[in-house]
Structure 1
Amino acid sequence: MSLSFPNVSRSFDDRNQCVRFVGYDGMSEIRFFVALDALQSEKSHRNTSEDDYLASFDELRGAILKAAEAAYTKKRGNMIGLGLEDLR
């Protein structure tokens, strides 16, 4: 099976400093985490709110899902973290 992202929801995780989202490989749920520094605008290193991070995720969704697929292809785990280097 291939990786799919039928659920467009994402959530901000302040404790772990990331935005979480989920993909599926068949019936298997794969949890992804995008580090906040990958979502932070170069203009606003301070005062970035939860809404800003989620909006940035939405703007970068295509690139994030592409990076998620590439990372999952390399590491077939059920939890995968993505950082700034993965989105470039």
Structure 2
Amino acid sequence: MSLNFPNPSRSYDASRHCVVFWGYDDSREIAFQVDEAVLSNLSPGMASDESSMLAAFDLHHDRVLLLARGVYSGGPQKNRYTIS
């Protein structure tokens, strides 16, 4: 497992109330979504609008990537993970 995050892009998904970002295991792209509740726990008092959630993600970027590595199991079976 060689999960890395060279792409700094992230986006807000209003329908799921989460922030989506991408990692790579070799050439495979893996999508991750971090739920509003997780970001709220990292940033207590955070509003639940797009700009607040993206700001919380950016503020806790390293911690979120550690969480992503923790939920990632590797292998071809999954290409999407939720951090909740």
TM-score (norm: length of structure 2): 0.85
- In structure 1, the residue matched to 2:79 is 78
> What does residue 20 of structure 2 align with?
20
**Aligned: 1:39 with 2:39:** yes
Q: Between Structure 1 and Structure 2, how many residues are aligned? A: 80
Output the CA distance in 1 between the equivalents of 2:22 and 2:57: 13
Structure 1 stretches (4+) deviating beyond 4 angstroms?
Answer: none
| Percent sequence identity over aligned pairs | 39
Residues 33-82 of structure 1: CA deviation (Å, up to 9, x unaligned):
000111124324xx532100000000111011011111113x64210000
Contact 2:4–2:24 under 8 Å retained in 1:
yes
Structure 2 unaligned blocks of 5 or more: none
